[in-house]
Structure 1
Amino acid sequence: MLQTPAAVRNAERWTAHNYHPLPVVISSAEGAWLTDVDGRRYLDFLAGYSALNFGHLHPQLIAAAHAQLDRLTLTSRAFIHDQFADFCRELAELCGKDMVLPMNTGAEAVETGIKVARKWGYQVKGVPAGQANIVVAEGNFHGRTTTIVSFSTDEDARADFGPYTPGFTVVPYGDLAALTAAIDENTVAVLLEPIQGEQGVVVPPEGYLPGVRQVCTDRNVLFIADEIQSGLGRTGATFACDHEGVTPDMYLLGKALGGGIVPVSAVAANADVLGVLKPGQHGSTFGGNPLACAVGTEVVRLLATGEFQRRSAELGARLHAGLTDLIGKGLVAVRGRGLWAGLDIDPALMTGREACERLAERGVLAKDTHGSTIRLAPPLVVTEEEIDHAVAQLAAVLAS
């Protein structure tokens, strides 16, 4: 059984209990491996909820961070620094968009997207003041601010945080007819995850995303894709939307954009959308700071080679093949794309938490969600041998 070290007890004593981490205390890491305070090594199959797509301490990213730390770390947006333009240009080109608005966290990117969509609705579409609405999906996870939890359907995230922000219509995920019916003359945007991560790596039905794209075009509504977890190589493509040839009006990005070093998020869209913002209407002291831009630019350059997208697609096929073999042997279902998988464990065997604890005992770290579901998201630098090892440890846990 996993033991509870003193560092865990101290953390529980001095911090709010808004997380329930596994009782493992990490002190160092490299690539796809973590080492705890006792020197035990673990294979990382969570990758910081996809914030560590390029692994721990990727040399190119660490070098960029070190070089920038010796020069300049913060100016605020009151001034322009020498890393800003390259980051914004190269990220905009990666997204195929005209403009980028850098922020810090994923939730900030979502809040920015909501504000921009509403302002676009009033100034461009002509929605009456105060009447804008945004269509979202059941099972969504876009962050935990008061506005965002207002349209969450997860009671753990939402309960007791009201009063809730109006202006959102919730429809079943993957149901194009319901989404189409929910759009009215005051709808300014549809906000969706192209794959729902927190819900258990739920992939929508084939044709759903193209259908959303078409109805948004037909009804003059912005399609906002929250690619904070699914984007930047995780699914075997630069963006999860790419699998169905869909280009949203707005990308919301984060997590892996900071390379696991600094929090970096961004909104990418064309000038006819992001151009509605004027000075003083939105901002962030740390958004687009020099250190963030230096690291973020190197992240974009890693993705521009296509290497990590290919690795995710090829190694993801191996991962999913191994996991599919366990259906009927303790697994009920496997979902996902690329190096991202949601696994439903037979609830008669164990909970997702119990499975993750037993995996940790075997040197593999993953995280549970929603009862008997666990998520696997190894860094994109993982090897075939490491994937096979992790699947073998999962098989042993299920067999036990």
Structure 2
Amino acid sequence: MNRIPALYDNRSFERIDWPPTAEGDYAKRFLLPLFRQPVESFVPNISTAMYALRLNRTVLPVTVNEAEYDNCYVCSPYTHYASYAREELYLLDSGAARFALRGVLRVLGLLLKASRFNRAVHVNNWLLSTNLYPELTEREIDGTIRLLLDRFPRHALIFRSLCRSINGELMDSLRRRGFRLVPSRQIYLWRHEGPLAPGAKARWLLKRDYALLDKRGYETVGPEALSAADMPRLAELYRALYLDKYSYYNPQFGADFLELARSRRLLELHALRHKESGRLDAVLGYYCRSGVMTTPIFGYDTSLPQETGLYRMLSAVLLGIARTNGHLLHESSGAAQFKRNRGAVGELEYSAVYDRHLPFDRRISWIALEKLLNGVGVPLLEKYKL
């Protein structure tokens, strides 16, 4: 059955005919709470209008924004390409490069705001660092584009989190329909088998990392052993790494969101517990789709000495889960050298952006950004191996 795509908001979501599939069930568990309560009640720094896009076998979340320039980057292209980029200039070894790019980003930020850059619709936006995609038919893609352009004619249309290894067919399909592919970040993919599987040195490092669990007196705790009472501590651990150490532009997931993820099985949460003290000192949360898994929740007690090795242990547990499940692991961005040393392979991630229907003063920012990133941003990523 090829049904016409339909869009629902917080006034009409009760009429959704949820498809009787695993993907449809997941979407229902994820989206219903976000329709019944404001998104900010679960993630304080995400402000957006939520919609549900009903397709043949699944329902995809769609977010719609107008401005919200202080918003989390998962809904704000301005935050991703300007605000967050300014914070990450410290990663460049060259002081001259940092100084020059700081000026470029300041000018770029003014241009982006002037062109109302954040007036955007994101398709398949799960409010996570990485969006995994279901298989979409050509008819579903065409229907989705027509529906959203008709409903939001003044907005750019964006598919975030696309990389060639995982989403090659979708990228080609969108490119044929006039989407521009704008680089967004360098991500890392880890494969447990095949020609790109970890080599001998990487396997040795992983074995050494995993051995730290016994050496430091830790044990893994699976989702069945975690309760609502553990969520405040797990939120502290996520905050310590993703927010305090990295950036407050990351999704500010707190205890309420983690309890939602735990109770509705939106994420598989695992933790590291110190055997002697019983304290939870590290957490990861992942989800899977079509043989790919990614980990939007990752954190540990950064107040403990670095030689404790919590990051190494937690990463070893994550890679062990991926290997056991036979999944390709999308490791997102960051900690580039660490991930490469353990067998991950870097790849560019893109946002596919449709802006052909917009006037030139709205398109100029995407045109300039595409040229700047391909001409300067990508070479810098490759030079500094970020």
Fold match by TM threshold 0.5: no
Q: Which has the higher strand share?
A: 2
Q: TM-score range by the shorter chain?
A: under 0.3
More helix by share: 2
TM-score normalized by structure 1?
A: 0.26
* Structure-2-length-normalised TM-score: 0.27
